[in-house]
Amino acid sequence: MARFAYTKPQFQDLAQQALDAARKAGASDAQAEISEGQGMSVSVRNGQMENVEHNRDKSLSITAYDGRRRGHASTSDFSPEAIARTARAAFDIARFTAEDDCAGLPEPELLAIGRKPPELSLYHPWELTPQAAARLALRAENAAFAVDKRIANSEGASVSAQESHFVLANTRGFCDGYASSSHSLSCAPIAGRGDDMQRDYWWTAECDPADLTRPEAVGRYAAERALSRLKARRLSTRKCPVLFESPLASGLIGSFSHAISGGALYRQASFLLDSLGQQVWPDHVDLLEDPFIPKRRGSSPFDGEGVATQARKLVDCGVVQGYLLSTYSARKLGMRTTGNAGGAHNLLLQSRLTEPGDDLRAMLRKLGTGLFAIELIGHGINYVTGDYSRGVMGFWVEGGEIRYPVHEITIAGNLRDMLRNVVAVGADARTYGSKTTGSLLIDGMTVGGAG
């Protein structure tokens, strides 16, 4: 795969051209972001190559300010003429928008200027041909087929290799950027025949291809998961504890981070309004934000506005210590940006009760009798009220042992109650995007089934 068409210094020069053009158009302040990305995705199915996709894109965006008015425009043409037209378009939009007292660039002292960035090791290009990618995907799929003769079909296996870089600059002296990469391999086998067919999948995703799980391990585990779901039953309606597998637990962290984000808070569209300093989780739970973990997708020395990031505790002993704020949302709330324009950075959920041996088997023993959820269906979350209702597939557990798979059921509750009722967090931690957590045991949820 060819490397980038532009260097970082070239991007910095283009960013300065964009800022100069915005000033010339009449902008009082401006921000420019320039990015370039490329990659390849290859998929196979039933032993044959199915798709090969190459992607390459580039973009230059300009945000122009006319006092407290803001306009935005973008282009994929990096010529001086196109940059000038884009800057003029951004300023023209700003001139005709309403004034907003909260609009504007971050305060200069908050920007990551003159600070030595930590070594985050985010860029690891993968020298991969389509043929080599297909071989990796076939290794995963073949390993899935070899597990059991009941694995007779497949939704396929895929390999993706992506890389990009960007530069962000503004008229207050900030100009920096970096390159990053994201690579993955996944497999989705189908088990069974006729009326009893189930699919499941597994994947591995890393910045560095050397850290990816071996294709054979991904394929075997995906097949074992699909097989375990055969002969699934329905449950009668009941109230019981629910153990969320770690991928699903990361979704609950995402729901919490959404609820404490500035946009939801200032719009009053969150069930966690005025939660700062309040007990939201049980007192054994901490939630850390760390932007400086090497090789993590959520790592960055600055946010989407150039504000320096920082490691902190979002939750300490269950008490909310901070929100996720951009410059704009912070001003709307009468607060100060937390360096979270663009989202949270590497959230890590921990429990002070977790022991090193609290793997999934131990968590099933803590569950005792209840539901072990491994897949959620639908998007039944009301972030204003916290009401939560999702379709679920998983396993019924008795005496800490899995008894049989279950499907065609729902789980329901309220996110505020669910967070407060976290009984345990497993030591089986995995990272999904920018969130790291083990399995999560929540007491007292309603399971809706037959009757």
| Whether the predicted pLDDT of 120 surpasses 50 | yes
Model confidence at 114, pLDDT cuts 50, 70, 90, reads confident
Q: pLDDT grade, residue 2 (50/70/90)?
A: very low
Q: What is the mean pLDDT of residues 261-265?
A: 97
pLDDT at 399 over 60: yes
Spatial separation of the C-alpha atoms in residues 264 and 281, rounded to whole Å: 19
Q: What single letter denotes the amino acid at residue 233?
A: R
What pLDDT was estimated at residue 449? 86
Model confidence pLDDT, tens digit, residues 27-48: 999 999 999 999 999 999 999 9
**4 vs 36: CA distance, rounded Å:** 7
Please name the helix (run of DSSP H) or strand (run of DSSP E) that holds residue 196, with its range, or none.
strand 196-199
Judging by DSSP bridges, how do beta strands 175-193 and 422-425 pair with one another?
Answer: unpaired
DSSP class of residue 108?
A: G
Instruction: Identify the band that residue 3 occupies on the pLDDT scale cut at 50, 70 and 90.
Output: confident
Pairing between strand 435-437 and 347-351? parallel
Rounded Cα gap, residues 451 and 431, in angstroms: 38
Predicted local distance difference test score (pLDDT) of residue 372 = 98
In angstroms, the CA 103 to CA 233 distance is 54
157: nearest Cα among 178, 125, 135:
135
Q: Let me know if the fold of 8-110 is the same as that of 130-161+178-228.
A: yes
419 Cα distance to chain centroid:
20
Are the CB atoms for 94 and 114 separated by under 8 Å? no
- Residue 115, pLDDT score: 80
Band (pLDDT 50/70/90 cuts) for residue 451 is: low
b vs e for 37-53, b when ≥16 Cβ sit within 10 Å of the residue's Cβ?
bbbbbbbbbeeebeeee
The string of pLDDT tens digits covering residues 400-440 is 999 999 999 999 999 999 999 999 999 999 999 999 999 99
Residue 227 host element (H or E): helix 215-228
Classify strands 312-316 and 285-289 as parallel, antiparallel or unpaired: antiparallel
For 94, 158, 190, 216, 416, the CA distances from 139, given in Å and listed in that order, are: 54, 11, 16, 6, 44
Give CATH superfamily name and number for 8-110: PmbA/TldD superfamily (3.30.2290.10)
3-state SS, residue 333: coil
Residue 308 has pLDDT above 70, yes or no: yes
What pLDDT does residue 116 have?
Answer: 81
The encoded tokens of residue 219 equal 């394929």
What would the pLDDT profile of 160-185 be if each residue is shown by its tens digit? 999 999 999 999 999 999 999 999 99
Mean pLDDT, residues 6-18 taken together = 97
Percent of the chain past pLDDT 70, that is, above it, reads: 99
Q: In a 10 Å sphere around its CB, with 0-12 CB exposed, 13-18 middle and 19+ buried, how is residue 85 labelled?
A: middle
What CATH class does 130-161+178-228 carry?
alpha beta
Count of beta carbons in the 10 Å neighbourhood of residue 209:
18
Could you tell me the residue ranges of all domains in the chain? 8-110, 130-161+178-228, 238-448
Percentage of the chain modeled with pLDDT above 90: 96
Half-sphere exposure for 11 (CA within 13 Å, toward CB): 25
